[in-house]
Every structure is written in structure tokens, then in C-alpha cells.
A and B are shown apart, each in its own frame.
Chain A
Amino acid sequence: MNRSGFTRFVFFLWRLYVIRRLVLFVPLLVGVSFAVFVLIRMAPGNPAYLFAGPTASEETIKAIERDLGLDQAIWVQYARYMQNLAGGDLGVSLVTSQPVLQDLVVRFPATLELITFAMLLIVVILIPLGVLAAIGGNLAGRLSSGYGFLAGSLPDFWWGLMLIFLFYTWLGWAPVPLGRIDFGLEPAYRTGFLTIDALLANDLTAFRSAFSRLLLPGFTLAFIFGAPVLKHLRATMSDGLHAPYIQYAHLCGLPRSLIFRYAFRNAIIPPMTMAGMTYVYLVGAAALVESVFAWGGFGQYAVQAAISSDYMAVSGTVLAAMLFALCVYLILDLVYTVIDPRVRY
């Protein structure tokens, strides 16, 4: 009796989708971190050389290898890494000489602010456009499909450069495309989002500076990566508006606005998945746009880490990106249950 009660409790927990996802995430995390670890240690360059600098002697390098544990077998190193990870220690970056976790805490919000702004632009501008394209006839369909092809063909980093040329060099409307805020205006660190921190500190000058820096890279990302969302929404929405249940609703004489809401609620789900995937993808993919605008965020950190085979920093960035992906998908799944009554976990 007692035992079956316990089993029921375990099943109850298992059915809590969130927990199931978290449990499944652990082997994934272990697998990925090990893969990254092995891959990076296969690299031809010796991290100890990087650490010691070009003039170091043989003995110094040997000593550093011993210090970093590089002379031990790979699984010993990995075990140690996982052990530290459990305590929240991601190791020390060889390039910045700072703990990787500390580097990430500074840089991740920078990227998050940028890509969240881009996602807001997508939601505010492109989703209404997608709905309009679904209602509009032939021409609207062609325009949105044309925009999809165009945006899919433009390299984002080049598009960012073009916007810089147009709005900074030529028209002089945009601020210098270097960094997230004018020098000396940084508000005190609270959330890491400069716009929010500036508002919290009640510093409107800083807010204006940070916001104006956000505009160009934000539009670059939204323009390029919003296209699939728009294209998808147009397709699902136009299918939805012609679906039998909508025709039935028309026959019943329901008001148009209500019918429209029914159609939209069903049509928004696939594009929302896509938007979530885009959000996750952007964490890494924004690296190119970040380096164009000298954003100093997560993506640029990952680039720098990869290029200088800074193995602790690379493992840390990959883990952080995956953790972020997990959170986004989790939230997305929970939102589905709210929007779509058919979805139950």
C-alpha cells in the first residue's frame, strides 16, 4: 500500500513535464560537455603555450600543464571538470584570465538584450504583417514570399554593415557602431540589460544612448531572422482562415473579429515554435552581427574562445547556450498549454 503510494507519487512527478524535461536534460548535458571536452583537447595547439606566452621555457610549460591538469588522462580531466561544474565553477578562461562564469555573467546579458530586442521587433512588426499578408490576396502573398527569399539570402553581417553605411556614415542618424553605450554612461550592473539598468537608475541619457545603440543591430537581426516566422504565419493563417471550422463559424453568423481570433489562436502555434527556435539560434548566430557592431557579447566571446582554443571558455559557452535553449523550449511548451487546450503533458 505504502509502496504503491510512493510509485504513484513518482509517476506524478514524472508527469510533471518540466521535471521530465530537466531529467532528460542531464544526460544530454553530460554527453555534450564530454563531446566538447574531447573535441577541444584534440586540438593541435597546446593550451599551456597560450597560457605561458611565447617566451616561456620548456619547464614553465611543463609546470603549467601540471597546474592545469593537462598532463593527466582525458577522463580524469573531464571528471574534475564535472566536479567543478557541480559547484558552479566553469574554470578559468585562458584569454581573459577570469573565471569563465564571471565572463559569461557580464557577456550573456549583452547578447540577451540584443536578441530579445530583435524578437520584440519581430513580434511587434512582423507578426501583424504576416496576418495582413494572409488576409491580403495574391500580391501580399508574393511580397511576403519574396521577402522570405531575400532575407534568407542576405548575410546578416553584411546587412548590418550596409545599415551602418546608410545610417551612420551617409545619413549620420545612427550613433557610432561601437559597443552598447556611449563611453562613461554605463549604469550600475543590476540585470546586465543596459536599457533596463539605465531606467532603474533613472538615467535617461544612458537609456537613450543604450537604446540608440540597440536599434541598428536589432533591426539587422529582426529583418533577417524574422522572415521565416512571417512566412510561416502567413501560411498557417491563410490555411486557418479557409479551414472548415472557420467556414462553419461564418455560416453560424459569428462576428468577424471573433472568427479571426479563433483562426489566429490556432495559426500562431507553428510560427511561435519557429520564433522560439530563432531565439535560441540567435544566441550563437548573433556572433557575426555582434562582431560588426563590436557588441562584446556572448557570441563574440564564443568566437574569441574558439579561435584561440580557449577550451574552458568554449565548454562554458556551449553549456550556457544549451542551458538557454532548454529554458526557452521549456517556456514555449508551457505557453502551448495556455494557448492550445489540446496540448496536455
Chain B
Amino acid sequence: MAAIDPVERPDAAEPASRAPDAGGVNAAVVIGGFLAFGSILLAVFGPLIAPYPPMDANPGQQLLAPSGTHWFGTDDVGMDVFSRVIAAPRIDLGIALSATVLALVIGTAIGGIAGYFRTWWSEAIMRISDLIQSFPVFILAMVLVTITGQEIWIVVVVIAFVNVPLYVRLIRAELLSLRERTFVEAAIVLGVPPLRIIRRHLIPNVLGIIINQASITMGVAMLLTAGLSFVGAGVRVPTPEWGLMIATGASSIVTGQWWPSVFPGIALSLSVFGFALFGDGVARMLGSRERGA
């Protein structure tokens, strides 16, 4: 097949440029997996193993520096920072994970349909995605959360909503080329119904891309959750949530009490970093298997 040749050629040149990354695949997956899995474990067990109740204000012990009794110190109302940092993943990861799954499922379904069928409404879907994406994301999320009443499930829905178009676009772009391949023609000839073709033959082929995007969404969702809470448009005080903790600690950082905001920030960054690294590594592994390497 001469037509395939120009497509294959860049792939053949790839090992040379991709080589530096290939050696890092396993290390990235291990480190990323360790961090990501660790934060999932904290989401499950964090509140249970916290040395102090994470929402108990202790008026006599405000802004104590880190010590043996309070590992990460206490914040401006005397809550134990360490307990709150390890209790927070339940909120942050819970929101991010639900939003990611929601965006992934809806986005993949819509993107799959829009990519397979070439009708006026698949065109309409794309224009609606354009519309949503042309909004300034952060402002949109903020407006949506505040007008619908700052419940946690609303934060989830809003974060999912702003991410759905990304999946639609990504999946559709992949399917547009995949659906021209011989195995799809074969399936059509065999009389496999379209939705089954999408589900069984097309979506599995873009799994690596979906996983990679999901790990990115996971990070973006966590940062968005924290950001929304930081400006007061997300989770409310005294819920243990990293962004909110950074916000309450922000006022005391100028006077030198760094611990109430430094530790939640590190925890949030490590967690996002872990998911990004893990997703990237897994996608590379899946990708190299598909290429037959």
C-alpha cells in the first residue's frame, strides 16, 4: 500500500528522537504511580489516621511553628496543619476524580459519535464545543459554581463541564482518521452496528490517548478545585481542602508564618505531579506497544 508509506515514515524516524524518553518510562511510571497511589490512599485513610480532628479549631494554639506535637504547625485558628493536609485528599481527589470520570465518559461518548458519523449534528456538536471552549475557563467555572450555590457536587459538575469539549475534540480527531482504516471497513461489511464499532473497535484504539488526557484532567481538576476555593468560589471553611488552606495561610505568610500555606501547596503539587507523570508514562508504554516496539 503506497498510500501508507508517507504515514509510516515519520514513525520510522522517531526512535532516534524519542530515545531519551524511552529509558525514563519505567522510572516515571514508578515515581508517578507512587505519588498518585499515595494520594489515593490518603483520600481513603487520611481522615482516619490524622493525629488530630482536622476540623477542630483550638483557640489557645494559633500559628504554632512545626514541632514534635504539631508536625506541620497549626494555622490561624489553631487547627493542626498536618491533619488537615492528609485529610484534604478526600475532598480534592474526590472532586477531581469524579469530575475526570464524568468528563471522560461524556466526552468520549460524544466525541466517538461526532467522530464516527458525518452529519450536520456532529458538526453542531463541534460548534457547541467551540462555544464552551471560547469562554475564559476560570471565569466560567467561577460564575457557574457561585450562581449554583457552591455545593461540592456542583464543583464536580462544573469542572467536568469545562473539560468535556477537550475530550470531544481529542476523540473526534483520532476517530476521523481511524474510521478510514481497513478493520473498520471490515466491521462495517460484516454488518456490525455503528455504536458497537465505536465501542468495541474504535475507542479501544485511542485508550492510550484517553488515559493520558485523563491524567492531565486529573491534575487540572485538582488545581481548578484549589483555585476556586482559593478565591472563595469553591469549598467553604473549615473543610480541609488544599486550596482553601493555602488561602487562609496566605495572610500570615507576609509576617513569616509560612507553614499553614507551604505544606498544603507541596501536597497539592506532589499529587498533581504524580498523576501527570503516571499518565504520561502509561500512555508512552501503551503507545510503544501499539507501535510494536
Contact = CB atoms under 8 A, between A and B. Distances in A.
Partners in one complex: yes
Interface of A: 28, 31-32, 35-36, 39-40, 42-44, 137-138, 141-142, 145, 149-150, 152-155, 157-159, 161-162, 164-165, 168-169, 177, 238-239, 242, 280-281, 283-285, 287-288, 291-292, 299, 302-303, 306-307, 309, 314, 317-318, 321-322, 325
B220 to A, nearest CB: 9
A28 B246 contact: no
Given A157-B246, A169-B256, A303-B231, A39 B131 contact: no
A175 B125 CA distance: 49
B254 interface: yes
A137 B17 CA distance: 10
Nearest to B232: A307
B12 interface: no
Interface stretch (B163-171, B181-189, B271-279): B271-279
Nearest to A43: B147
B254 A169 contact: yes
A158 B138 contact: no
Interface of B: 13, 16-17, 20-21, 24, 131, 134-140, 142-144, 146-149, 219, 223, 226-227, 230-233, 243, 246, 249-250, 253-256, 258, 261-262, 265, 268-270, 272-273, 276-277, 280
A306 B233 contact: yes
A281 B224 CA distance: 14
Contacts, number: 144
A153 B276 contact: yes
Contacts of B137: 281, 284-285
Contacts of B262: 162, 165
Contacts of B227: 155, 157, 288
Nearest to B136: A284
Contact of B139 (A137, A162, A292, A321): A321
B143 to A, nearest CB: 5
A31, A285, A306, A314 pick with most chain B CB within 10 angstroms: A306
A40 B231 contact: no
Contacts of A283: 136
B46 to A, nearest CB: 19
B17 A291 contact: no
Contact of B255 (A141, A152, A157, A169): A169
Contacts of A314: 139, 143
Contact of A32 (B134, B147, B243): B134
A36 B143 contact: yes
Contact of B136 (A162, A169, A177, A321): A321
A112 to B, nearest CB: 14
Contacts of B250: 161, 292
A142, A157, A168, A239 pick with most chain B CB within 10 angstroms: A157
A314 B146 CA distance: 12
Contacts of B20: 137-138, 141-142
A247 to B, nearest CB: 11
B233 A303 contact: yes
A318 B219 contact: no
A36 B227 CA distance: 21
B134 A291 contact: no
Given A238-B17, A242-B13, A306-B233, A317 B272 contact: no
A177 B243 CA distance: 20
Contacts of B21: 141, 145
13 contacts: A32-B131, A32-B135, A40-B143, A43-B146, A137-B20, A141-B20, A142-B24, A152-B219, A153-B270, A158-B268, A161-B246, A165-B262, A318-B136
Contacts of B253: 161, 164-165, 169
